[in-house]
Chains A and B, each alone.
With several copies, the nearest count.
Chain A
Amino acid sequence: MIELTRPGKTSLIVNNPVMPAAGTFGFDYSPYRDLIDVGKLGAIVTNPVTWRPRQVARGPRVVPLPSGVLIHTGLPNPGANRVIKQYAGRWARSEVPVIVHVVATSPADVARCASAFERCQGVAALEIGLHDQATPDDVAQIVAAAEANTLLPLLVRVPLYQAVALARAAEAAGAGALVIAAPPRGTTRDPETGQLVGGRIYGPWLKAQALRATGQVAQIAGIPVIGSGGIHSPDDARDFIEAGAVAVQVDSVIWTQPRMLEVIARNLGGLELTRAVGALGDEWEPGLGHTMQIKRERGRRSTSTKDEPPPDDSPPDWPAPKNEDPA
């Protein structure tokens, strides 16, 4: 039992700390029902939903990268109301909690989505996807708009590049949990058309960036943090837990090796996550980075708090981010 969102009026409890990331799994369990045991997951996060319908982007949408891929879909979806018509029934029948991902196009739209899903059976929580250019003020307005219109637990998914500043703003505005982080955007050339294409980029190398952001946020967050970005193995997932996350979202490996999602869930299923959220950093015994201990600990790869951070005198891999707030 893992408390995924801050205790309070309503909180989301899941049995397993592993779930898919928005946009990777579909609007419900059906795309992967025949490929994995969805019941083994902690939850499902739906594809992004907007208040108004959105059409798919034109031009190339899937472009290979060195050990990764660029995806530019334009977040196609028929709009909140038609999504509810199509999927609410299945959500109600889902073995695991369903978290609906709402794209933060505007506070007004978020408010409309919030009240729509509030009335919709089978929705366990909302995840708000912040736009890359969102400012802390935008975040405050967007989260407030959602809060005002639903009692559902509220997760806020934060863009990678502004993770600490926007996470602060989201928590202050009353978010129930933070998802760190949404994948960054990139630009690459489509070999087929010779065209430059912009979109979200996915791949195993994303993990290093996302893990650092997760660790930085976990140090300051008073609410649960969910780690996400480039997780391709159970060990990858454990690194995020060790960084202070209570749970993880798995992304593009679901497309390349669907079973890996279930494997990661089964591996982390055993974990007892009793740590006070954000307290993980303190629990690490500082001196332990020191070489002779490393030698003893050598090779050990556990999620225990013994796995050592870099030595005190070398900079932390996620320094307490003073000054990072752009404000």
Chain B
Amino acid sequence: MRETQAIIERVRRVSDALQQLHLSVDASLAQTQAGQSLFAAPLDGGESYLREQWIPVGVRAGQIVVEVPVERSYAPGQVVSLLAPVGRVFPLRANLQHMLLIANDALPTPFVWLAADLCARGAAVTLVLGGQALGYPLELLPAEVEILRADTDWRWPDQVETLTWADQVIALAPSYAYADVYAGLYDTISQLRVQNVPEGYVFGLFYYRLACGTGACLACQIPGQKTDLLACTDGPAIDLKKVAFR
């Protein structure tokens, strides 16, 4: 991770709730990949004391594009300080065929870049949306992605089929519900598979509000089976097999 500066080249409103910022970033961030994020602070101070975690949805013409809520107002030409990259690249299985992504009550922004990459390399992607996630503008996702709708109890058509069909599952819940939702998902999956759930099969995304983003403050800690994990440095995708649900 390094501290660099970036310039907001373009501010594009993509829905009532979301805007995309096109950022000219330092060369050292050229290698940023899906899963990693930017920990940002406008140089002119801005409204919030802490930095904000900006999640990239892709790279266009060498510029990193991030998707942020419209509440905060940004202007082209604005300079931001970035601590980046924060977190790890999504850990994808070798020769992945079928990816199942699940977003319930949380905007699927973290899946946009991932889905595009997967489709590009010919993998089949199914995205289950539920609750608030249903409000997300689907045109922002690759056309090849199959969309399913989940109900409020995280059930969706052919749930068992899709879960068994998938080589890998990544779920996204709202931060206040991680413990319950991811535990529930893990149980469901363990019941499906007589043998143990394999490592690297089902992941939860952890986007706690970060204080430091560097692994220092421990505010984003996730209790682990063997060792504890940190959302900022080990995440955002955490293998649920490694999480100690209390």
Chain A residues near B (Cβ < 8 Å): 23-26, 30-32, 34-35, 47, 55-56, 58-65, 67-69, 71-73, 76-78, 192-193, 203, 252, 254-259, 291-292, 294-295, 298
How far in angstroms is the closest Cβ of chain A from B88? 15
Would you call A30 and B228 a contact (CB within 8 A)?
no
Interface bracket on B: 35 or more
For the complex, what is the distance from the CA of A254 to the CA of B212, rounded to whole Å?
Answer: 8
A56-B228 in contact (CB<8A)? yes
Stretch at the interface among B12-20, B122-130, B215-223: B215-223
With contacts A24-B217, A55-B223, A291-B176 taken as known, whether A69 is within 8 angstroms of B211 at the C-beta atoms is yes
In Å, the complex CA distance between A256 and B218 comes to 15
Q: Which of chain B's residues have a CB closer than 8 A to the CB of A30?
A: 215
Given contacts A73-B217, A257-B81, contact A24 B49 (CB under 8 A): no
B92 at the interface (CB under 8 A from A): no
Contact B228–A76 (Cβ < 8 Å):
yes
Given A35-B83, A69-B49: A254 and B176 within 8 A (CB)?
A: no
Chain B 169-186, CB-CB to A under 8 Å as 1, else 0, gives 000001111111000000
Q: Least Cβ distance of A201 to chain B in Å? A: 11
Q: Closest residue of chain B to A20, judged by CB?
A: B216
Which residues in B have some Cβ–Cβ distance to A below 8 Å? 1-3, 41, 48-51, 81, 83, 105, 174-180, 208-223, 227-228, 246
A-B contact sample (13 more), CB < 8 A, given A64-B49, A255-B51, A258-B83: A23-B217, A23-B218, A31-B212, A56-B221, A62-B211, A68-B49, A69-B50, A69-B211, A76-B218, A77-B218, A257-B41, A294-B176, A295-B176
* Bound Cα distance A168, B42 (Å): 43
- 9 smallest CB-CB distances across A and B, nearest first, come from A26-B216, A31-B216, A56-B221, A31-B214, A255-B212, A62-B209, A31-B215, A61-B219, A193-B176
Closest B residue to A53 by beta carbon equals B228
* 6 intermolecular pairs with C-beta atoms under 8 Å apart: A26-B214, A31-B215, A61-B220, A69-B50, A76-B218, A254-B216
Closest to A67 in B: B49
* B48, closest chain A residue (CB): A64
Chain A residues closer than 8 Å to B2, beta-carbon distance? 34-35
Cα A71 to Cα B210 in complex, Å, equals: 10
Point out the residue from A58, A73, A256 that lies within 8 Å of B50, measured CB to CB: A256
- Residues of A contacting B174 in the complex (Cβ-Cβ under 8 angstroms): 192, 295
A62-B228 contact in complex given A35-B1, A254-B212, A255-B216, C-beta closer than 8 Å: no
